[in-house]
Amino acid sequence: MRIPPHYQQPTWQRFFAGAAIGAIISWGVFLFIYGVNQEKHSTIINEQKQTIQELQNDKKIYQEEYTKLNKEAQKKLTIQEIKIHLTNGDRYLFKDFRIKNIENSIKEDLSDLITKDIESVSSSQLLIERTIENRIFEFDGKKYKLELTKLLLHTTLYIEVKISFLD
């Protein structure tokens, strides 16, 4: 079998030349359209990456803020500080030093209440009162007892006490 000699005829030559040129042009058009589409998709992908990055940063900021607010809320729900005030120390001519000693000894007795939640402290209010009132101080051969006059319960436990002679 042999190949027919059509390549020598000008009509066939024009046909094959047109097919080759058409293939080259169509390949060029295909590359152009494909390139434009790829460029569109790559810009969309870059925009989406940027949006994702911004959203992740926002999410990180919100999570940090959320944990910070949770810690602050938890601090607000616990006893952070205890303040004691002796109301009538001047009546017994106590010096500031002795008044501070009395206040500090009460603070030491109640120091376990720091970082406790407010609910448990409020439920043990009677125990706090008994702890303060059962305390006896002795100065210069005289015995003194304390009486709870005011108890304010917040993040700061504020206690006012009165001192009197022990009968």
Q: Name the pLDDT band for 8 (thresholds 50, 70, 90).
A: confident
For 9, list phi and psi in degrees, rounded to 5.
-85, 135
- Tell me the angle at which helices 96-109 and 125-133 cross, rounded to the nearest 10 degrees: 140
- pLDDT number for residue 16: 86
CB atoms within 10 A of CB 110: 18
State whether residue 131 is helix, strand or coil: helix
Q: What is the pLDDT of residues 74-127, one digit of tens each?
A: 777 888 899 999 998 888 888 888 899 999 999 999 988 888 888 888 898 999
Q: Tell me the residue type at 63.
A: Q
- pLDDT number for residue 3: 67
Q: What is the pLDDT of residues 35-67, one digit of tens each?
A: 999 999 999 999 999 999 999 999 999 999 999
The answer to pTM > 0.85 is no
Q: Hey, what are 165's tokens?
A: 């002679």
Nearest Cα neighbor of 103 from 75, 95, 167 is 95
Cα-to-chain-centroid distance, residue 163? 44
